[in-house]
Structure 1
Amino acid sequence: MNIRQAIRQKRRDLSPQQRCNAQQIIYQKIKNHPALNQAENIAIFLSFDGEVDTKPIIEYLWQQNKSVYLPITHPFCKNHLLFLKYTTNTPLIKNHFGIFEPELNVNNVIPFVQLDIVFTPLVAFDERGYRMGMGGGYYDRMLANYQQQQILPIGLAFSCQKLANIDNQPWDIKLPEIIYA
């Protein structure tokens, strides 16, 4: 079993109580995050395969009158993402990875540079802020120039996903912040 599979299994193996306790801490950290007050356009993902449940975060963002955007795999640019506005009425479809995403509607696409915060999924992370994703490089490509664009990427994870060190590559993007418990 490789490291990605092992960490994903650890994440899936969390008991309902462990998951609930950790998620409550994560949700509180997000609610108290200073950048959230100023942010208007927030990208987040729909949870998949034992990830931190993002539905309560999305509900909270809507209550705060934030615009929420979900990633979809770009239909023309291989291994790239687009972000579409997500509301309670947005139809969702399963993509080729089995992950729910909004149906493509060009009227709902936001240019990446207009996002304020990007909550980022990850399989594993280390203390330095390096993350290991699912292996497609989607988020690394998208976040390559996040500092110049004044976008704040924030990883979401459980403590069991933390490694001592990730063998990062030159193209891997270091996250400035990872919220975990």
Structure 2
Amino acid sequence: MDKRELRQAYLSRRREMSLDAVKRSSLAICKDISSTAWFQRSKRLLMYMPIRREVDLRPLMDVAWRKGKTVYLPKADPVTHAMDAYAVHSLDELKAGAYGILEPPADATKEADLEKLDCVFIPGVVFDRQGYRIGYGGGYYDRFLPRLTSSTLLIGVAYAWQVVERIPRDAYDEPLHVLVTEKEVLTFSLPTFTKHSRRTRPE
């Protein structure tokens, strides 16, 4: 199957998940992430608000806030398909934005310094065991990820059934460093930790 066919098939399967299954798997994923060394040492984390039965990271946000970490959430521009990140200190701050997704309000001012982000958590529809993903097709993360430094850890989160051996990929697809499911933590590579070095698109 090509990317479009995979996206449709896996979105359809995810829609069939029970809310109880989403909650149980999400809690297991958040628990595993919170015990990793890279989460423990990270101070600035970009997460996301779940839609369409995505893995729910809100329990992980609570852990991060309790530990004094700064949590950022994305704010999307549906016209340009650009995405920026803003600090939030409570879910009560969020307002419905593009596509009905809860995001920082229009007057949010605490925009992230992208060079200082330690971790970026990335949702998706299908992932493979080489660290690549298929998203919704809007290109938001494709545009956002090259703006980060090479020291930022890219973490995919998914249900175990969303992981396949290999998916079709394009030259601009950015591979992840880590993929976490309710059953395993896959580590593909580690960041270069070269401060202020911009990412380049893979050949």
Structure 2 residues not aligned, in runs of 5+? 183-203
Higher relative contact order (Cα pairs below 8 Å, separated by 6+ residues): 1
Aligned length: 179
Tell me, yes or no, if the aligned pair for 1:39 and 1:66 is still in contact at 8 Å. Answer: yes
Cα shift at 1:38: 1.7
Q: How does 1:6-155 map to 2 (within 5 A)?
A: 6-74=9-77, 78-88=80-90, 91-105=93-107, 107-144=109-146, 146=148, 148=150, 150-155=151-156
For structure 1, which runs of at least 5 residues remain unmatched after alignment?
A: none
Paired residues of 1:8 and 1:50 also in contact (CA < 8 A): no
Counterpart CA distance in 1 for 2:129 and 2:100 is 30
CA distance in 1, matches of 2:153, 2:128: 18
- Counterpart CA distance in 1 for 2:104 and 2:98 is 13
Q: Tell me the TM-score normalised to structure 2 length.
A: 0.80
Deviations 1:117-173 (A, max 9, x none): 01111111000010111111111222226452x100101110121123210000000
Deviations 1:63-107 (A, max 9, x none): 1111000000148x8222110111126532222322111113352
% same residue: 29
Preserved contact between residue 114 and residue 148 of structure 2 (Cα < 8 Å): no
Find the aligned partners of 1:106 and 1:31 in 2 and give their Cα distance. Answer: 27
Question: 2:165 is matched with which residue?
Answer: 164
Measure, in 1, the Cα distance between the counterparts of 2:50 and 2:97: 13
Letter in 2 for 1:132: I
Matches of 1:152 and 1:176, distance apart in 2: 6
Quote the Cα distance in structure 2 between the aligned partners of 1:24 and 1:99: 21
Identify if the C-alpha distance between structure 1 residues 55 and 118 changes in structure 2 by more than 3 Å, giving closer, same or farther: same
Structure 2 distance, partners of 1:131, 1:46, is 18
Letter in 1 for 2:80: K
Partners of 1:85 and 1:145 lie apart in 2 by 17
Q: Which runs of 4+ in 1 moved over 6 A?
A: none
| Deviation per residue, 1:18-68 (Å, 9 max, x gap) | 334322321221111111122111100001110011111111111111100
Using structure 1 for the length normalisation, give the TM-score: 0.89
- What is the root-mean-square deviation of aligned Cα atoms in Å? 2.1
Residue 108 of structure 1 deviates from its aligned partner by 1.1
